[in-house]
Amino acid sequence: MTHTPAIVQRWCAPNDTNGNPRRAFVIWSSNGTLLDVIDEGYSGKPQWLRELADLGDIKVTATEYREILKQSAARE
């Protein structure tokens, strides 16, 4: 079963000790299945994500940020 990206949410963790941002776009299907996570880095929001429903930003801990990145990497 394939899922189509429908919803995006930006997870914002505190900057790392070097001042680098820890932000990620978490992409969900319409039924709430985690599809992908894109580390924002310094590139900003990709154009194609602007077409999805946006849940807005949420503040997360550095641990939560690392965990969502791991979940995405494990899916690949």
State pTM to two decimals.
Answer: 0.89
pLDDT in tens, 52-70: 999 999 999 999 999 999 9
pLDDT in tens, 1-56: 568 999 999 999 999 999 999 999 999 999 999 999 999 988 899 999 999 999 99
In the block, residue with structure tokens 């939560």: 64
- Between vectors from CA 64 to CA 38 and to CA 40, what angle results, nearest 5°? 25
Query: Could you tell me if 57 and 10 are in contact, meaning their C-beta atoms sit under 8 angstroms apart?
Result: yes
In the block, residue with structure tokens 């941002």: 21
- Cα first-last separation, the chain: 16
Instruction: Specify the pLDDT at position 74.
Output: 73
